[in-house]
Structure 1
């Protein structure tokens, strides 16, 4: 009885997801997607790599995107290495022409003991990155 209830619930959920209406654009400006992250986002060798390259290849209707992902980065090293400043500068430069979305994809390297980043620090770092995106005129 319990298993059939779970299956029924999952089927109902799947049906509602499939039948959901598509997202409607909320802005008059085209979208700009800036991808910040580690190797799970970064451009890799041919045939490999993170999700960023594939995602950017799907953009249409005037949308643009830039992949700022770098292998091995953490929420700390991305900021300290200057990558984050580049992302924020790009958000600001696109503010008048685009609705800018910044994806923030970290954690793979932050969790490693060698990184020395606690869960609390990681959480605070993500919060700060999101706040900086909003302050620059983008959406995290």
Structure 2
């Protein structure tokens, strides 16, 4: 009998489940759930607008920790809100590192496995059509902590930058929540969001994450279900 596995997702709006009023914007955590077989339960604790600091301050981490045990994973993906000084959710570089260490240590104390993810790239191209590396500092902090604490790392920033660079400025719009006026009742004036994903984009980002799971050779990789299977 296959032992059940639970994957906890903690992070921000790029990972989170979306309300009906936000559709077709889709967090990658939604299709990620459907790419794993029935022996895996995915609990998506990610929440719009959260940083490592506010996720902790609001008490969102404690109930996750209480539920952890063996055969549990915690996928940690923050940075979008932490890194912006003008946002009230901003987290200093020093505190960001401390918070990541806390997630890793408390996950291990419960016998579970932490997996860090760098934040998925924003779709920001310069006038020459070159993709801007908007997460450079905070992605590197995540990489540093992962190395220092021996935490498995999925470099979603690097993987998504590669995809965006391949698609280019125009074709990459399909990955994000870009809608013309009148196409969807939730966005009557249209929307050009270069951070959050379309349904198709979320599926492709989830696949990038699962590629990372397989590259790490995590036991979870044996439970990945691809469309062609």
Instruction: Tell me if TM exceeds 0.5.
Output: yes
* 1:74 has 2:62 as partner: no
Aligned position for 2:97: 123
Of 70, 79, 82, 1:110 maps to: 82
Larger Rg computed on CA atoms: 1
* 1:116 to partner: Cα distance: 4.2
Of 57, 61, 75, 2:34 maps to: 57
Alignment partners' CA distance in 2, 1:116 and 1:52: 23
Q: Which runs of 4+ in 1 moved over 3 A?
A: none
Q: Where do residues 1-140 of structure 1 align in structure 2 (5 Å cutoff)? A: 29-44=3-18, 45-91=22-68, 95=69, 99-113=71-85, 114=87, 115-140=89-114
Alignment partners' CA distance in 1, 2:107 and 2:9: 12
Deviates more, 1:65-74 or 1:42-51: 42-51
Q: Which has the higher contact order (CA 8 A, sep 6+)?
A: 1
Residue 112 of structure 2 aligns to a residue whose secondary structure is coil
Deviates more, 1:98-107 or 1:114-123: 114-123
Deviations 1:78-132 (A, max 9, x none): 11111101211221xxx2xx61000011010000113342212211211111111
Alignment partners' CA distance in 2, 1:64 and 1:47: 24
Normalising by structure 1, what TM-score? 0.71
The alignment yields a C-alpha RMSD, in angstroms, of 1.6
* 1:61 to partner: Cα distance: 4.2
Normalising by structure 2, what TM-score? 0.44
Contact 2:51 2:90 in 1 (8 A): no
Q: Which runs of 5+ in 1 are unaligned?
A: 1-27
Residue 14 of structure 2 aligns to a residue whose secondary structure is coil
Residue 91 of structure 2 aligns to a residue whose secondary structure is coil
